Structure 1
Amino acid sequence: MDPLTLSGLVALCTILVLFSGVSVAIGLLIVSAGFLIVFDGVRSLELMPEILFGKLDNFALLAIPMFIIMGSSIASTRAGADLYEALERWLTRVPGGLVISNLGACALFAAMSGSSPATCAAIGKMGIPEMRKRGYPDGVAAGSIAAGGTLGILIPPSVTMIVYGIATESSIGRLFLAGVFPGLLLVGLFMAWSLYSTARSGDRNLLNVGTYTWREKFEILPRVLPFLFIILGVLYAMYGGIATPSETAAVGALLCLIIAMVIYKLWNPRDLWVVLKDSTRESVMILFIIAAAGVFSYMLSSLFITQSIAEWIGTLDVNRWWLMGAINVFLLIAGFFLPPVAVILMAAPILLPVIVTAGFDPIWFAVILTINMEIGLISPPVGLNLYVINGIAPDIPLKTILMGSLPFVACMVLAILLLCLFPGIATWLPDMVMGPAI
């Protein structure tokens, strides 16, 4: 069978298997084993265990459970609520300070936890009731938190970026740096829309929510600043050449656990067990998907599917930006139905040769891909963040949450367009800190 025809058959079978309800990792293994048996014979399965475990034989993978523990230890405390309260106290005199406080808290908590659902839950529990109490429209209150939570997979340290780096053999340090300015760009666009939407409501009371004394402003800082110093320390150690991402993640996880125990009295062994148990469950899930995706990539390469697609793209007489547009549509649709890690691990082996052949920077593309995954987090039918917000505020209809998040989807699309027009937004910082990519 022609490799290009075979690639279409693989794609169709993969979609059908994943939609059947099996887990992503098991689904990838089923598809891989099936096609290897049919086209390479049963003996080809002898290599599957070696590939499966060999994919996990990577020192960089240690960063994933460490960053997850780091985020879980923060999410299990009142750090999100304290962060929100600190920003509210300091930004109270800024026009629209409350909505800015929520988005700023989402950005900072996302950087600390690296988890979109955790960010929505931690900031939303405090922010949504407070905004509604002060008269903010339900759509703005719910949509801003849902969108702010998506920043967890873009602003470093990001588990999604680590997965992309491992899947494409790209520098994780470069990927982290590439997400900084696009993340700040999204925060700025989210804030701009929120302020415009608030001002358009015509209620001037929303633009000023009260005053706090200097004592009240400073007394909250000791509960927040240690976590922020840890994030800055982790990034400094990583980019200062002091330690590898895995080593800095391990130190960051230990420090976050210690601070959670000291500041938030997380001494109860049961509470610590919950943190470690949840972190282990999420880490195993991601690592299992990575291992299964390694087998899936081997199958694609063994059947000459990836090579044929790259060759076919190279012979097409089409503008590369039309090609990028088609890739974005594909990623957007995939993100509607699958979690970001699954999309990255499934799509990277196929898309990377295409991206390189078309002359695009893989580091820049990682940011484009991640923003597409962010859109999927606040879009139906999966839209994980929408359901998290609905769980926090069940009296806000899911339709209202969705409509409130749509303007933020437009902000993300605008960010993608700006990155296409000005790729330096993503590539300038990595090139300046680590030198131009070879």
Structure 2
Amino acid sequence: MDPLFLGAIVAVATILVLFSGVSVALGLLIVSGGFLVIFDGMRSLELMPEILFGKLDNFALLSIPMFIIMGASISSTRAGADLYEALERWLTRVPGGLVISNLGACALFAAMSGSSPATCAAIGKMGIPEMRKRGYPDGVAAGSIAAGGTLGILIPPSVTMIVYGIATETSIGRLFLAGVIPGLLLVGLFMAWSLYSTWKSGDTNLLSARSYTWKERFEVLPRVVPFLAIILGVLYAMYGGIATPSETAAVGALLCLLIAIVIYKLWHPRDLWVVLRDSTKESVMILFIIAAAGVFSYMLSSLYITQSIAEWIGTLDVNRWVLMGAVNVFLLIAGFFLPPVAVILMAAPILLPIIITAGFDPIWFAVILTINMEIGLISPPVGLNLYVISGIAPDIQLKTILLGSLPFVACMVVAIVLLCLFPGLATWLPDAVMGARQ
């Protein structure tokens, strides 16, 4: 059978299995095992356990549960509320300042937690009711938090970037640095739109807010600075050559737990158990998907599907930017239905050879891919962040949340265009800090 036709059959079968409701990891194993048995016989199943566990035999994977614990310990405290309150006190007199405060809090909390749903939940619980009380439209209040929450998978430390680095054998340190400037660019675009929409509305109620004294502005900072210091310390240790990503993640997780215990009184064993339990569940889920994706990639390679797709695309006589446009469309559609980790693990091994052959930088492509996944987080039918916001504010219709997030989707598209025009936005900082690649 022609490998390209077989690849189409595999794609359809995978979509049907995943849409049946089974978990992503189990669905990948079912598809992989089924096609291996059909084309290679029952003996091929003997290799599956070895591949499954071999994919997990990677020291870099240790950073995933550590960063998740780091984020969970922060999410279980009032750190998100303190971030929001601190920024709200400093930006209270700025037109649209409350939306900007929420977006800034989302960016900072994302950097501390690395989780989009956690960012939405932590900032949204306080931000959405406050914006609605001040007179901001429901769509703006909900959409800004949903969009701001997506920054959790781009701004370092990002679990999504770690997964991409492991799947493509790319430097995790470079990937973290590559996400810094694009992440700030997205924050800037989100804030610019917020300022414009507030100015355009002409609603003076949005500009009037309580005035805070300098004492009130500074008194909230001591509760926020320690967490920010940990993030900066983790990044310095990683890029200063002091420790590996896994080692810095472990130290960061320990320090975040200690600060949560000391500053936020998270000392009760029941509270600590919840942090560790939830972190373990999320870590196991991600690691299981990674292992299953390893088997799936082996199946694609064993049946010569991956190689055939790369060769076929390589023979196409099309402009490389047309090719990149097609890749972006594919990633957008995939992100509508699957979580970012699953898309990366399934698509990266196939797309990376194509990207490199077309002359694109794999570090730059990681940022493009991640922004596409961000769009998926606030787009139906899956749109995880939309449902998180719906849970926080159940009286706001899902349609209103979606419409409120659309301008921010446009900002993400603009960011992708800017990255295509100026790839140095993603590649300059990694090269400046870690040296140019050979």
> What TM-score comes out, normalization by structure 1 length?
0.99
Q: Tell me the residue number matched to 1:273.
A: 273
Q: How big is the shift at 1:135? A: 0.8
Q: Quote the RMSD (CA, aligned, Å).
A: 0.8
1:99/1:194 contact within 8 Å kept: yes
- 5 Å-filtered alignment, 1:146-157, equals 146-157=146-157
User: In the alignment, residue 309 of structure 1 is paired with which amino acid?
Assistant: I
Deviations 1:30-70, CA, capped at 9 Å, x for gaps = 11111111111111111111110000000000000000000
- 5 Å-filtered alignment, 1:297-312, equals 297-312=297-312
Structure 2 residue 45 is matched with structure 1 residue 11: no
1:75/1:118 contact within 8 Å kept: yes
- 5 Å-filtered alignment, 1:38-77, equals 38-77=38-77
Q: Tell me the residue number matched to 1:176.
A: 176
Name the SS of the counterpart of 2:156 in structure 1: coil
Distance in 2 between residues matched to 1:380 and 1:107, nearest whole Å: 23
- 5 Å-filtered alignment, 1:19-418, equals 19-418=19-418
Distance in 2 between residues matched to 1:180 and 1:166, nearest whole Å: 19
Q: How big is the shift at 1:201? A: 1.4
Q: How big is the shift at 1:306? A: 1.0
Distance in 2 between residues matched to 1:224 and 1:362, nearest whole Å: 35
Deviations 1:344-380, CA, capped at 9 Å, x for gaps = 0011111111111111111100001000000010011
Distance in 2 between residues matched to 1:427 and 1:154, nearest whole Å: 14
Structure 2 residue 429 is matched with structure 1 residue 429: yes
Structure 2, gaps ≥5 residues long: none
Q: How big is the shift at 1:138? A: 1.1
Distance in 2 between residues matched to 1:174 and 1:110, nearest whole Å: 19
Farther-moved stretch of structure 1 (198-207 vs 392-401) = 198-207
1:320/1:358 contact within 8 Å kept: yes
Deviations 1:277-310, CA, capped at 9 Å, x for gaps = 0000000000000000000111111111111111
User: In the alignment, residue 105 of structure 2 is paired with which amino acid?
Assistant: A
User: In the alignment, residue 363 of structure 2 is paired with which amino acid?
Assistant: I
Deviations 1:175-204, CA, capped at 9 Å, x for gaps = 000000000000001011111111111112
2:186/2:412 contact within 8 Å kept: yes
Name the SS of the counterpart of 2:359 in structure 1: coil
1:371/1:412 contact within 8 Å kept: yes
Distance in 2 between residues matched to 1:13 and 1:138, nearest whole Å: 40
Distance in 1 between residues matched to 2:6 and 2:399, nearest whole Å: 40
Farther-moved stretch of structure 1 (229-238 vs 190-199) = 190-199
Distance in 2 between residues matched to 1:217 and 1:167, nearest whole Å: 44
User: In the alignment, residue 333 of structure 1 is paired with which amino acid?
Assistant: I
Distance in 2 between residues matched to 1:382 and 1:308, nearest whole Å: 31
User: In the alignment, residue 285 of structure 2 is paired with which amino acid?
Assistant: M
Distance in 2 between residues matched to 1:243 and 1:93, nearest whole Å: 42
Name the SS of the counterpart of 2:56 in structure 1: coil
2:335/2:376 contact within 8 Å kept: yes
1:132/1:141 contact within 8 Å kept: yes
- Using the aligned pairs only, state the percent identity: 89
Distance in 2 between residues matched to 1:50 and 1:88, nearest whole Å: 53
Name the SS of the counterpart of 2:431 in structure 1: helix
User: In the alignment, residue 97 of structure 1 is paired with which amino acid?
Assistant: G
Distance in 1 between residues matched to 2:42 and 2:109, nearest whole Å: 49
Deviations 1:92-134, CA, capped at 9 Å, x for gaps = 2333221111000000000000000100010001111111111
1:94/1:208 contact within 8 Å kept: no
Runs of 4+ in 1 over 6 A off after TM superposition: none
2:110/2:151 contact within 8 Å kept: yes
Name the SS of the counterpart of 2:252 in structure 1: helix
Distance in 2 between residues matched to 1:228 and 1:14, nearest whole Å: 42
User: In the alignment, residue 272 of structure 2 is paired with which amino acid?
Assistant: L
1:70/1:254 contact within 8 Å kept: yes
User: In the alignment, residue 129 of structure 2 is paired with which amino acid?
Assistant: P
Q: How big is the shift at 1:208? A: 4.1
Q: How big is the shift at 1:153? A: 0.2
User: In the alignment, residue 379 of structure 1 is paired with which amino acid?
Assistant: S
Distance in 2 between residues matched to 1:135 and 1:198, nearest whole Å: 11
Distance in 1 between residues matched to 2:320 and 2:42, nearest whole Å: 40
Name the SS of the counterpart of 2:135 in structure 1: coil
Q: How big is the shift at 1:214? A: 1.2
User: In the alignment, residue 221 of structure 1 is paired with which amino acid?
Assistant: L
Q: How many residues align?
A: 438
> What TM-score comes out, normalization by structure 2 length?
0.99
Q: How big is the shift at 1:210? A: 2.5
1:112/1:228 contact within 8 Å kept: yes
Structure 1, gaps ≥5 residues long: none
